[in-house]
Structure 1
Amino acid sequence: MDSVPASATPFDGLTEFEQAVGRAHAAAKAYFGGETLTMPDGDYDHLIARITASMEVNPQWDDRGVSTAVAAGASGGAVRHETPMLSLDKITTAAELEQFTNTLSTCTAVVEAKFDGMACHVDYRDGRLVRAVSRGDGAAGDDITHQVTREPGVAGLPVSLPNAWSGSVRGEIFMTNADFEAANDARVAAGKAPFVNPRNAVAGSIRKVERTYSVPMSFAAYAISGDGLEDVDSHLERMAHTRLSGITTATMLTAGALPAGTLTYGRRAEDLQRAVDALEKLRPRLGFPVDGAVIKADSRVVRTRMGSHSSAPRWAVAYKWAPDTAYSILREIHVSVGRTGRAGFRAVIDPVTVAGTTIRYASLHNVDWIAQQGLGVGSRVAVVRAGDVIPRVTAAAGEQPEDVVPWIPPAGCPQCDQPWERSGQLWRCTTPACSLVSLLTYAASRDVLDIDGLGEEVAAALVEADLVRDLADLYTLTSDRIAEASYVRPGTTVGRRIGRTTAAKLVAGIAAAKERPLARHITSLGIRGTGRRMGPTLAQHFGTLDALRAATTDDLAAVNGIGTVTACWISAGLHEADEVIDRLIAVGIATVHDTTPAVADGSLAGKRVVITGAIPNMTRTQAQEAAERLGATASGSVTPKTDLLIVGAGSSARSKLAKANELGVPTMSAEDFLALHAAAVTS
């Protein structure tokens, strides 16, 4: 199969070609070496494709191994791989997938997530991890045994197995989104610049034999060989053996993420395409970085028959998606006020395509972080759209221009000009009216009231038209009043009218919001300390909205997870919202916490459950509500009273799992939880 995209055009002349080869080698060295990245993944792939196309037309040119090396630009190591660790041919279209599927004939193919990390080979002897080797240039790599076995280890890659198995595992060391945040926090605390992205962080950290800070990492296996597997032909069966050994596999993470009923294997191209598309749709919510899907023959016999070409197997391809990291130039930093008065910072950047979407704005961290990065107007920055749909600036990227203008934060709130409250890292404005638009947007979000269509611009239009002065006003709106509202964007003279179609949809969504559980209505008030996790806790503890309003500061402080300071915030916020709450009750919102399981058999009846990590196809709030439908009480922390810990993919709370093991608390995988819930609600 031709691995050069049809859109790849050869370079016109030798000079241009040689310059491109130089850029490719420099970019690959940074990519595989864990240094600051110099080129977005999509640009690199396109550059390699053009170099390869040029070599096909001009085979006498010297590309210094770019088009034929297993990992162009990667350096080899001292440990040779007994079997080369090949790369994969790349495809990007349904037509290419169909062409590949046809080469497999009637063989079943398997779809797995393509993790954006660092490949490695791991040997076990009598149930002990004895050696780990990086992929390197595919022919040889570096011994990284010390790095993967030192505390805290690599999640999903146990040092000791539950049985005396001997064999080899190949897979990807990667960072979950939570791993990456924790690693960067530790790295910055150690006085070093943060990593640009998770892949860069893995490569850079693995190279360091000794580190003064902790770097959590994870592992997903995609191949296994050894004792008891000589006659096992199916990849899926071999991965099942891997999972039983306590090693995390790419297959289990892929299958666990896909919606129920979506096949991760098949013989028809359309079935495989369906799985690839479903996985891409879930990409922002997976909890770990993926840059595509791997489609490969399930049968070892078929793999052997098809063989490989110089750098890649013929029995597998990588279906690449649009990259979720890009580089741009910072032009401005806008300061706004959030739902609780917290200052928010948004970068205005040169337009850049990230994950298939043109991005002009990206979120930034707090003032201290911006200063640590040395960001200013003209800075070159890395922009990521992963883990959630909100793009964010993750770091200053590469060598910076000489003419960067340092950014000085405003002394006060941009709306009321009052000085910031700066007792912590997160600056706040204490003027309640400053955060109304943010409050409405937050209340309408999916995890709270789930009012589709009530985004920032529509909320601003309602506020500008004086139709909404507080949360309760939402429930008094009519389609006619909403349709005529318009909002003029700052710095422009262009207005946007909401219109009748959007207005009708909005009114229907607001009406449906009344029926949301009490926990969500508590959260929608935007009171400091009553976020998405604490809303359900307060609803469960007090049972009714009246009881919550009557609670003293001491009553609130006695709730699990609330201290004295937070209790004071909540008490003051409830008092300030007294009139609004009265009006919300008058329009008919839910005021009583429903403790009756929605499932008749109450599969988790009476159990106190804690959820950690990402539950596929569910937000954290939805997962807690699903547990409650099974009769459980959802809690936020593991204690001796906890009955069950549900562990999702990309779990950030390793301390919760460790605490559960210490206390002897049983655990349940996200897949088993979803299966239990699906079986219960359909019975």
Structure 2
Amino acid sequence: MDSTTAAPFDNLSAFERAVERARAAAEAYFGGETPLMPDGDYDRLVAGIAASTRLNPHWNDRGVATAVAAGTSGGDVRHATPMLSLDKITTTAELQQFVHTLNTCMAVVEAKFDGMACHIDYRDGRLVRAVTRGDGAAGDDITHQVTREPGIAGLPQELPHPWTGSVRGEIFMSTNDFERANAARTASGKSPFVNARNAVAGSIRKLDRAYSVPMSFAAYAISGSGLEDVDSHLERMAHARLSGITTAAMLTAGALPAGTLIYGHRAEDLQRAVDTLGDLRPRLDFPIDGAVIKADSRVVRTRLGSHSSAPRWATAYKFAPDTGYSILRDIEVSVGRTGRAGFRAVIDPVTVAGTTIRYASLHNADWIAQQRLGIGSRVSVVRAGDVIPRVIAAAGEQQEDVVPWIPPTRCPQCDQPWERSGQLWYCTVPTCSLAALLTDAASRDVLDIDGLGEEVAAALVEAELVRDLADLYTLTVDQIAEVSYVRAGTTVGRRIGVTTAAKLVAGIAAAKERPLARHITSLGIRGIGHRMGRTLAQHFGTLDALRSATIDDLAAVDGVATITACWIRTRLYDVEAVLDRLIAVGITTVHDTTTPASQGSLAGKRVVITGAIPAMTRTQAQEAAERLGATSAASVTTKTDLLIVGAGSSARRKLAKANELGIPTMSAEDFLALHAEAVST
């Protein structure tokens, strides 16, 4: 599971619910047949729990963020030596830093198998016990399942010589194993496995399976008689291989092209092996989710030792999310909040990273044409950032019966021609994107109106209660309560009702007090996102001043190009009546700042915020920095004056660049204290 960052939970009750969800998901991950949530969702949940415990050390995470195998059952068999997890990295810089800690010691690269870790004991050449990793300290005895017919490929029950010792490795399903297992499972009347990893975890514990589930094994550690004085990991793996045990090193070396080394002491050589393994990943016949880089020398391993849950002498380089392959059945065209045309692929259901995907985003019409995508095309799908499904390419050989897809020349909602001045297409008719605009305006980082989702927004527009953004602020409980809407996944309409309507009206009333920058962003003007909304609010100070700005006035704003200024000016004319009505209903019209920008403690500084800032979204953190007088930017450059650093891998990357450029940094905790002090005074 990939590591990530997340904001801490606001209260103990939400924290405890999150712990329960994480423990249940971990049990399914390590021991069930079907995952309860995608890996990315689990990672964010655990990261939020970890962030909460850092702020509230007395809160009990029940091992979710600290145990070797978070949330899993320990089992009845204690491990003589804990089976630790591995710290995770995702960048070249992190790999270089890890290699530096080895201090020129030779390191080994092995595929990180996506299966289930276990410990195997041999006595006098006979397999006598197999135990799952469990929670790292203890696991379940699975000796019967491992030794039953047909056994585990690569894990012999009898060795060619009377050796006594232990082997640790991963039980997994090869591509062939998975296909055969699913064929046998469906033939027995059961639904197919979701993925190979969960198929292993669920099947290995069943004593009474009515169907055969072939599995394979790859060892990554060995100890025992005759190996006491063998310092090299690769030499110990050679002993395992000679005993008929398949090893991770053996499979890794066999998968890589001739001449690609899986060992070395230079970071660039190790990175080359990792990258090559990643490139080959779609074509490998065994499932991997990364590569493991470890010290070859046992002496070095002993010297480096371990921290509470992972060794310091090894790390896991995690690859990007899994890629799935499916057939394109249709392309849907919609209009977003700014009028931009959006393209969505309808595909045959495909499982990617444990989630079944039926829809995926597409770049734009030009890209679709370049890829020669048509109805019936085979496509590759990823979950971008482990969240948004996206078609990334046409996949391999295509069928001859693919039907070319011809994009519509007109907006599907108003039948007006697209504006096609660039790769992105736009509909310039404001009403086309009203429901989408309302939904976006209600989102947490804009007006934060809870309950105003896509279905409700569309229903309000359909009922002609809302013809523009200003209408939202005139709605009454009685008007909203009578509106019917259709919930996603259903076909039956239902009334919103008085209770929900009252909450929605209260949320709309509270939205009036949001900062001016958010109201500017809520207008849905192309080119005005969160950052530009804050920039314009800082520069002009009121809606009146912004409305009166000329093209030259707008172009004088830092970060506004002339073409953007022209477009903003045109759209301001278009929404002039809306602006009048927003002002009339009492929308905040003065830039919200606790401390004048010229007097703030970060006055005049160009600030970049990276990583998770506790109890704040990214937009809230940027607003806080600007209240302290700073100008918020997205990336670290030579113009950056300060980097505010929260938790997370993205923070490490930007921190490295800031250090390289000699840019001062500030911790998230110091930033929060600075902001709290400014607010209190």
What interval of TM-score do these two structures reach, taking the shorter chain for normalisation? Answer: 0.5 to 0.7
Provide the rounded CA distance (Å) in 2 between the counterparts of 1:418 and 1:411: 9
Query: After superposition, what is the alpha-carbon deviation per residue over 1:3-30, rounded to whole angstroms, capped at 9, x for unaligned?
Result: 3999999999979x99x977347999xx
What letter is aligned with 1:445?
Answer: S
Match among 366, 369, 376 for residue 368 of structure 1: 366
Provide the rounded CA distance (Å) in 1 between the counterparts of 2:389 and 2:559: 30
1:530 equivalent to 2:528? Answer yes
1:23 equivalent to 2:21? Answer no
Q: CA deviation at 1:68?
A: 4.4
Which residue is equivalent to 1:67?
Answer: 217
Residue ranges of structure 2 left out of the alignment (5+ in a row)? 1-76, 78-130, 135-139, 155-171, 181-191, 222-231, 239-247, 285-289
Query: After superposition, what is the alpha-carbon deviation per residue over 1:130-154, rounded to whole angstroms, capped at 9, x for unaligned?
Result: xxx996589998348799639xx97
CA contact (8 A) 2:173 2:196 kept: no
Which residue is equivalent to 1:608?
Answer: 606
What letter is aligned with 2:268?
Answer: T
Provide the rounded CA distance (Å) in 2 between the counterparts of 1:358 and 1:502: 32
Provide the rounded CA distance (Å) in 2 between the counterparts of 1:655 and 1:466: 48
Match among 629, 642, 663 for residue 644 of structure 1: 642
1:142 equivalent to 2:271? Answer no
Q: Secondary structure at the match of 2:132?
A: coil
Match among 506, 509, 532 for residue 508 of structure 1: 506
Distance 1:678 1:232, change over 3 A: farther
Q: CA deviation at 1:375?
A: 2.9
Q: Secondary structure at the match of 1:409?
A: coil
Query: After superposition, what is the alpha-carbon deviation per residue over 1:417-471, rounded to whole angstroms, capped at 9, x for unaligned?
Result: 2222222111112222211111111111222111122122111101000010000
Provide the rounded CA distance (Å) in 1 between the counterparts of 2:393 and 2:403: 17
Match among 584, 589, 592 for residue 591 of structure 1: 589
Which residue is equivalent to 1:428?
Answer: 426
Distance 1:499 1:364, change over 3 A: farther
What letter is aligned with 2:175?
Answer: R
Q: CA deviation at 1:415?
A: 1.3
Q: CA deviation at 1:386?
A: 4.9
Query: After superposition, what is the alpha-carbon deviation per residue over 1:33-65, rounded to whole angstroms, capped at 9, x for unaligned?
Result: xxxxxxx9951214445786799999xx996x8
Percent of matched pairs sharing the same residue: 62
Provide the rounded CA distance (Å) in 2 between the counterparts of 1:656 and 1:402: 51
1:567 equivalent to 2:565? Answer yes
Provide the rounded CA distance (Å) in 1 between the counterparts of 2:283 and 2:195: 25
Residue ranges of structure 1 left out of the alignment (5+ in a row)? 29-39, 72-78, 86-119, 122-132, 158-171, 175-197, 207-217, 254-287, 292-323
When normalised by structure 2's length, the TM-score is 0.57
Matches within 5 A, 1:340-351: 340-351=338-349
Q: CA deviation at 1:390?
A: 3.9
Matches within 5 A, 1:650-669: 650-651=649-650, 661-662=660-661, 664-668=662-666
Distance 1:57 1:385, change over 3 A: closer
Q: CA deviation at 1:562?
A: 0.9
Matches within 5 A, 1:74-473: 81=234, 142-143=261-262, 149=268, 200=278, 234-235=306-307, 326-351=324-349, 359-387=357-385, 389-397=387-395, 400-473=398-471
Query: After superposition, what is the alpha-carbon deviation per residue over 1:534-563, rounded to whole angstroms, capped at 9, x for unaligned?
Result: 111111122222222222211111111111
What letter is aligned with 1:622?
Answer: Q
Query: After superposition, what is the alpha-carbon deviation per residue over 1:362-420, rounded to whole angstroms, capped at 9, x for unaligned?
Result: 32221122233333333344444453754333344566555433322112111122222
Q: Secondary structure at the match of 2:530?
A: coil
Provide the rounded CA distance (Å) in 1 between the counterparts of 2:507 and 2:586: 15
Q: CA deviation at 1:519?
A: 0.8
Distance 1:633 1:68, change over 3 A: closer
1:45 equivalent to 2:197? Answer yes
Provide the rounded CA distance (Å) in 1 between the counterparts of 2:392 and 2:147: 34
1:477 equivalent to 2:606? Answer no
Match among 534, 537, 541 for residue 539 of structure 1: 537
Q: Secondary structure at the match of 1:427?
A: coil
Q: CA deviation at 1:580?
A: 0.5
Which residue is equivalent to 1:99?
Answer: none
> Considering only CA atoms, is the larger Rg found in Structure 1 or Structure 2?
2
Provide the rounded CA distance (Å) in 1 between the counterparts of 2:377 and 2:429: 32
Provide the rounded CA distance (Å) in 2 between the counterparts of 1:598 and 1:463: 40
Provide the rounded CA distance (Å) in 1 between the counterparts of 2:220 and 2:655: 40
Which residue is equivalent to 1:3?
Answer: 132
CA contact (8 A) 1:561 1:636 kept: no
Q: CA deviation at 1:489?
A: 8.9
How many residue pairs get matched? 488
CA contact (8 A) 1:134 1:144 kept: no
CA contact (8 A) 1:52 1:67 kept: no
Provide the rounded CA distance (Å) in 2 between the counterparts of 1:366 and 1:12: 53
Query: After superposition, what is the alpha-carbon deviation per residue over 1:108-139, rounded to whole angstroms, capped at 9, x for unaligned?
Result: xxxxxxxxxxxx99xxxxxxxxxxx9965899
What letter is aligned with 1:3?
Answer: T
CA contact (8 A) 1:596 1:631 kept: no
What letter is aligned with 2:618?
Answer: R
CA contact (8 A) 2:543 2:579 kept: no
Query: After superposition, what is the alpha-carbon deviation per residue over 1:636-680, rounded to whole angstroms, capped at 9, x for unaligned?
Result: 566766421235645499799758854x43234667656876898
Which residue is equivalent to 2:5?
Answer: none
What letter is aligned with 1:583?
Answer: R
Provide the rounded CA distance (Å) in 1 between the counterparts of 2:670 and 2:300: 27
Q: Secondary structure at the match of 2:449?
A: coil
Provide the rounded CA distance (Å) in 2 between the counterparts of 1:501 and 1:222: 59
Q: CA deviation at 1:576?
A: 1.4
Q: CA deviation at 1:359?
A: 4.3
What letter is aligned with 2:132?
Answer: S
Provide the rounded CA distance (Å) in 2 between the counterparts of 1:9 and 1:443: 55
CA contact (8 A) 1:610 1:646 kept: yes
What letter is aligned with 1:586?
Answer: A
Distance 1:222 1:491, change over 3 A: closer
Q: CA deviation at 1:564?
A: 0.5
Provide the rounded CA distance (Å) in 1 between the counterparts of 2:477 and 2:201: 53
Distance 1:670 1:371, change over 3 A: farther
What letter is aligned with 1:454?
Answer: L
Provide the rounded CA distance (Å) in 1 between the counterparts of 2:559 and 2:656: 18
CA contact (8 A) 1:380 1:396 kept: yes
Distance 1:135 1:656, change over 3 A: same
What letter is aligned with 1:149?
Answer: E
Distance 1:411 1:623, change over 3 A: same
What letter is aligned with 1:417?
Answer: D
